[in-house]
A and B are shown apart, each in its own frame.
Chain A
Amino acid sequence: MIRVGGDLGTHGLGWAFGDGAEAEIVISTRVRLARNLQGFPFPARSSEDDRARVLKTVRAALKALTAVPDIDIWEIDELDEGQRDLLLERRVVSRELIKDPSGGASHAALALWSDDEIGIMINEEDHLRIQAITGGSSLEETWRQVDRLDERLGELLAFAFHHEYGFLTACPTNVGTGLRASVLVHLPGLVLTKEIHKVLEGIGQVGLTYRGLHGEGSEVVGNLFQISNQTTLGKQEEDLVNHLTRVVSKVVDYERSARAMMLRDAPGVLEDKVWRAYGILRHARSLSAEEMMNLLSAVRLGLSLKLLKTPRVQTLNEILVFGQAGHLAFAAGGSLGDAETDGARSAYVRTRLEADEA
């Protein structure tokens, strides 16, 4: 069944609720495929009418998919700013998808499978962005989910494909496979031991790149790095995924040894840093988003090194989402000023940490 415009509830938060493999360092895994329909200009150059037709065509294809669980669809034009923020903070939509178009309605939409982490952004930079986000480290499995849906949709829709350039995309940096795989990793050990620059440079030299929590154009905060493939043409999908898997597992090993080194050489300093961070999060009466992210990083590190017994890793992931401005405003039932947001954030974090102590 396809449901349109339902309650956002906790949709799209599967990655934050789970723990998954290597959860103490790898927070989530994401894979997306860019696809376009034949016969329509790419969304940015489409007329309002074309975008409406693309959305209608994709919805018809979703309806024709057999043996799928329920799908929820939200049309971005129908959502208010607060609801758009929620989706962005849950990382299931991009800024590109929720921005207001220059003329007319965007007919942009998000389709989410209700029992799964998979979804489709419609009328983003490309007509379709098939994507899945899962908790922990699971590149192969996440890729397989996306691949499977792509195969089925490809039978129902006519994708733009060129014998030489592969799947055609609005940006030439996505052409070919249209595949972007990324892994969100927490690397405080490498940052504190100042090894991170070498690692990031190495990542660049093997055809990978990194971004912040919210993808393209977002800054690195809280020592969270999103590592992804840079090129999409000239390699098979599995090779791109396997290469990323191998490099990420190297980076994770590096992070582990940096942590072990700090624990061996400066245990007192490390323990103090972790407990101070916990103390501030547990008792502060005002927290900016950036301060919260940095303190959460230290607490996450402390948990992984067993310097702290609480909170649970899952709680930290949830705070990462529910401690952001949009979710705090939603919980408060209206918009909040900056000072009010920081106050609400500290209250929310205190409550969550206290609950885990019990």
Chain B
Amino acid sequence: MECQDCGLRDGKLQVTTIVDGEMKTLHLCSECAAKRGVPDELPPAPLADFLAQLSPDQAGTEEQSEPCPYCGLTEGDFRVTGRLGCSQCYAHFEPQLRALLRRIHGAPQHVGKLYMSAGSEAGDRVAKLSAMRRRLSRAIETEDFELAAELRDRIHEAEEAE
């Protein structure tokens, strides 16, 4: 089958895309697929991906970081299990993790619910309120009125507590 974009080369790749909520299968040559930002091969699964990133070959060129001072987890432990040991590991292994998180999730920054435990700084409260307002406007946009009503109540409560 010919490539559906250029009509010249062999459309050897089957690319499934979602355009305006419609799932479509296109036959494309690698050149045209690349233009649409589709890699020749499927990206590897995240876990394999991040373990590959931390493979001994690569790590060997850099100095191994110290174990986490809080839980004692080493880079080697992480490579074997793929699990961090404690919340402090995120700060301790930050240089390595930052790139890894970007590769796994395609984004490095949390934009979901904000959390503050009792007694946190006033600034956090303001941030949490604005995040709730952001969710509220999103809920109204998507006509999720039940969620919107609930968020409105939560915002009122939080404002009362100020």
Contact = CB atoms under 8 A, between A and B. Distances in A.
B52 interface: no
Contacts of A164: 108-110
A72 interface: no
B157 to A, nearest CB: 10
B76 interface: no
A322 interface: no
A205 B135 contact: no
Nearest to A176: B110
A170 B16 contact: no
A225 to B, nearest CB: 15
Interface stretch (B1-9, B17-25, B56-64): B17-25
Contact of A177 (B22, B113, B146): B113
Interface residues of A, number: 59
Interface string A163-201: 111111011110111010000000000000000001101
A239 B139 CA distance: 10
Interface in B106-131: 106-118
B118 A230 contact: no
A91 to B, nearest CB: 22
A254 B147 contact: no
B21 A233 contact: no
B105 interface: yes
Contacts of A168: 87, 90
A179 B105 CA distance: 13
A204 B101 contact: no
Nearest to B112: A177
A233 B97 CA distance: 13
Contact of A44 (B15, B83, B113, B138): B83
B135 A42 contact: no
A346 interface: no
B14 A198 contact: yes
Interface of B: 14-18, 21-23, 25, 38, 42, 46-47, 50, 70-73, 81-87, 90-91, 97, 100-101, 104-118, 134-135, 138-139, 142, 144, 146-147, 150, 154
23 contacts: A41-B85, A42-B85, A45-B71, A140-B147, A158-B117, A159-B117, A163-B110, A164-B109, A166-B112, A167-B110, A167-B113, A171-B82, A173-B50, A199-B16, A201-B16, A204-B42, A205-B38, A206-B18, A231-B105, A233-B107, A234-B111, A236-B111, A236-B135
Given A234-B110, A235-B111, 10 more contacts: A42-B85, A168-B87, A172-B97, A231-B46, A232-B105, A236-B112, A236-B135, A238-B139, A238-B147, A246-B21
